[in-house]
Structure 1
Amino acid sequence: MEHIGKNIRKIREEKGYTQQEVADLISMHRSNYSRVETGDRDLSIEAINKIAQFFHMLSTSW
């Protein structure tokens, strides 16, 4: 099963963002964010929601 970091990396690269830009968005050091993309670190639900909103993949109204 693929980990979420691999999917986030694919979307990030398709949209032309750097790891630093996404790391800044979720208040994480870039090196730690890099570990998310490789599957060595997990993200909180809040961080996942911020990333989804940043990539316009989540509606803010429920």
Structure 2
Amino acid sequence: MGIVGKNSSIGKNIRQLRQKKGWSQGEAAKCLKISIPAFSKIESGITDINISRLNQIANLFEVSIFDIIAKEGISVNPGSATEVRVLKERLADQEDEIIKLQKKVIDLYEEIRSNNPS
């Protein structure tokens, strides 16, 4: 589900957090037990991040998940109504994307099935 437009702000936030620590991509990747190219793809927004990886990154940089996924200029207190609203919006966007991808899978399955009748 790598949607560059949505994940580019997340990647940018991760890059900024890494740079604040003074770490290279290699150092951050080693701490996360992933390859440097995999970490680079996260920072560039190419790779979609699952919740467990997001939590791992937040713990590594000692920030909240919201600090990573918040768009630039949004600052809220953890647990505030604004944080909850923004997180719900992001979750709804991800759920919409999942539904679209599930539909594509079903359509492709039906296409393969109709082209290869048993």
Q: Quick one: distance in 1 between partners of 2:60 and 2:30?
A: 12
1:5-44 equivalences in 2 (<5 Å): 5-44=11-50
Q: Quick one: distance in 1 between partners of 2:53 and 2:60?
A: 10
Q: Quick one: distance in 2 between partners of 1:35 and 1:18?
A: 14
> Aligned residues, how many?
58
What amino acid is aligned across from residue 54 of structure 1 in structure 2? L
- Structure-2-length-normalised TM-score: 0.44
Q: Which of 46, 53, 57 is the aligned partner of 2:59?
A: 53
State whether residues 25 and 50 of structure 1, in contact with CA within 8 Å, keep that contact through their aligned partners in structure 2.
Answer: no
- 1:43–1:25: structure 2 CA closer, same or farther, 3 Å change rule? farther
- Structure-1-length-normalised TM-score: 0.76
Give every structure 1 segment of 4 or more consecutive aligned residues whose post-TM-superposition deviation is greater than 4 Å.
Answer: none
What amino acid is aligned across from residue 17 of structure 2 in structure 1? I
Structure with higher Rg: it is 2
Give the alignment's Cα RMSD to 1 decimal. Answer: 1.6
Uncovered stretches (5+) of structure 2, i.e. residues with no partner: 1-5, 65-118
Uncovered stretches (5+) of structure 1, i.e. residues with no partner: none
